[in-house]
């Protein structure tokens, strides 16, 4: 009888389970890198997001989630373009805007992510546009080859240089990561900077609703798993998460690449390619909480916040939404479950 009640309670509020997870999280260390890169698309402003999030108390917000989290901010990434990349661009990728800058930035990011993972148990990459998803995930893969990727986005970002209609490289990062597609970038010397790549069955998309025709063709040809908004409407976020986790290898670490435009444009309007009909903030938080509760998330990106787009209040709500997502990923629980270590737990005895 008692056992049954206990189990039911756990199912309902999940607190018993959560508390066990909390103790597993002792000594979490988080490295943060800002990547003010906006050349994967053409709108100015996305490069301002890392510093804007810092000004809006990024560190405090994360710390509020779990006061034992040790945070190291590595500042903003710097990179330099070299002649070899310019030559690749001239000879092979002249139709792709800013190819050389893209490669230079991601090459530096691949190194930076590995450095952060040598010193920290988790890392966070703040963009910038989603072109940096390549370097962030590729760096993660060099450190942890057995990796799964959850790409939360309105877009699939899986264009090839031959299929992109916009020429914007923020619509292509996933094609640099997948084993099955990287051959299409044969002149990019990917084997030198990022030999490890991602098998297609370790990628799941959530939140898609604006897929280009050739992207749809690629997704279907390779049988890549994606849960577009219509599936989320049909079965709801908990089921989507269950299917996502069932699909990914249970022993793998997880990288979550979160494009702010996955959220509906009413909660995240200040972004370059906003699409209506997206995730509510609560759905976004639920997704992140559920992934985080696996204790397997080792890296995360937050990208595409553009403070130059929309009104002042648009920018405020977009930044707030982004911070809520990060807060839930790195410690905060809506249920109130937390560590008591920094609380004065004698307070009740003294007062009563």
Ligand X SMILES: NC(=[NH2+])NCCC[C@H](N)C(=O)O
Residue 212 interacting with Mn ion (CB under 5 A) = no
- Selected from 47, 66, 153, 314, the binder of Mn ion by CB under 5 A is 153
Smallest gap, in angstroms, from Cβ of residue 158 to ligand X?
A: 9
**Cβ proximity to ligand X, 259 vs 289, nearer residue:** 259
For 28-41, give one letter per residue: b (16+ CB within 10 A) or e. bebbbbbbbbbbbb
In whole angstroms, the minimum distance from the beta carbon of 332 to Mn ion comes to 24
Element (H, E) at 74: strand 70-76
Q: How far is the C-alpha of 76 from the C-alpha of 163, rounded, in Å?
A: 32
Q: Which is nearer to ligand X, 139 or 171 (CB)?
A: 171
Q: Which C-beta is closer to ligand X: that of 37 or that of 330?
A: 37
Q: Which is nearer to ligand X, 71 or 274 (CB)?
A: 274
Pure H helices in 213-335: 213-222, 229-235, 237-247, 281-292, 312-329
- Binding residue per annotation — 82? no
Three-state secondary structure readout of 198-215:
ECHHHEEEEEECCCCHHH
DSSP character string of 12-37: HH-HHHHHHHHHHTTT-EEEEEEE--
Binding map of ligand X across residues 232-261, x = CB under 6 A, - = no contact: ---------------------------x-x
Q: Which tokens sit at 34?
A: 């800002």
Is residue 301 at the binding interface for ligand X, with CB under 6 A as the rule?
A: no
- 153 assigned to a ligand binding site: yes
| C-beta closer to ligand X: residue 120 or 159 | 159
Rounded least distance, CB 157 to Mn ion, Å? 4
212 binds, among Mn ion, ligand X, none (CB under 5 to 8 A by kind): ligand X
Q: Whole-angstrom distance between the N-terminal and C-terminal Cα of the chain?
A: 33
Residues from 114 through 143 that contact Mn ion (CB under 5 A): 130
Whose structure tokens read 């992109």? Answer: 164
Say if residues 117 and 144 touch (Cβ distance below 8 Å): yes
Determine contact, residues 93/190, Cβ cutoff 8 Å.
Answer: no
Site map 154..193 versus ligand X, x via CB under 6 A = -x-x-x----x-x-x-xx----------------------
Q: How many residues does the chain have?
A: 352
- Using an 8 Å Cβ cutoff, are 309 and 45 in contact? yes
Q: How far is the CB of 235 from ligand X (least distance, A)?
A: 25
Q: Which residues bind Mn ion (CB under 5 A)?
A: 130, 153-155, 157, 259, 261
Contacts to ligand X by CB under 6 A: 130, 155, 157, 159, 164, 166, 168, 170-171, 212, 259, 261, 273, 304
Annotated binding site for Mn(2+): 130, 153, 155, 157, 259, 261
């Amino acid at each position: 009888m008692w056992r049954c009640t206990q189990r039911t309670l756990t199912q309902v509020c999940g607190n018993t389970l959560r508390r066990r997870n909390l103790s597993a999280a002792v000594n979490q260390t988080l490295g943060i890198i800002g990547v003010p890169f906006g050349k994967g698309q053409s709108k100015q402003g996305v490069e301002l997001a890392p510093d804007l999030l810092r000004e809006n108390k990024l560190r405090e917000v994360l710390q509020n989630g779990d006061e034992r989290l040790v945070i190291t901010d590595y500042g903003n990434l710097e990179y330099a373009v070299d002649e070899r990349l310019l030559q690749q661009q001239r000879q092979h990728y002249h139709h792709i805007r800013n190819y050389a800058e893209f490669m230079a930035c991601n090459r530096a990011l691949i190194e930076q992510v590995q450095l952060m993972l040598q010193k920290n148990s988790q890392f966070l990459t703040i963009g910038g546009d989603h072109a940096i998803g390549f370097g962030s995930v590729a760096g993660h893969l060099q450190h942890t080859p057995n990796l799964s990727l959850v790409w939360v986005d309105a877009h699939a970002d899986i264009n090839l240089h031959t299929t992109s209609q916009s020429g914007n490289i923020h619509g292509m990062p996933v094609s640099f990561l997948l084993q099955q597609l990287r051959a299409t970038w044969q002149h990019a010397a990917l084997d030198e900077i990022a030999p490890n790549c991602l098998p297609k069955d370790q990628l799941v998309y959530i939140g898609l609703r604006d897929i280009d025709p050739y992207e749809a063709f690629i997704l279907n040809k390779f049988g890549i798993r994606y849960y577009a908004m219509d599936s989320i409407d049909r079965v709801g976020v908990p089921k989507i998460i269950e299917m996502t986790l069932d699909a990914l290898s249970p022993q793998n670490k997880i990288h979550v690449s979160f494009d702010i435009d996955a959220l509906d444009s009413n909660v995240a309007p200040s972004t370059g390619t906003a699409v209506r009909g997206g995730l509510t903030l609560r759905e976004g938080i639920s997704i992140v909480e559920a992934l985080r509760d696996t204790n397997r998330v080792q890296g995360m990106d937050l990208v595409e916040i553009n403070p130059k787009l929309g009104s002042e209040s648009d920018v405020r709500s977009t930044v707030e939404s982004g911070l809520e997502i990060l807060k839930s990923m790195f410690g905060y629980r809506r249920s109130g479950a937390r560590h008591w270590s920094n609380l004065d737990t004698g307070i009740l005895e003294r007062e009563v």
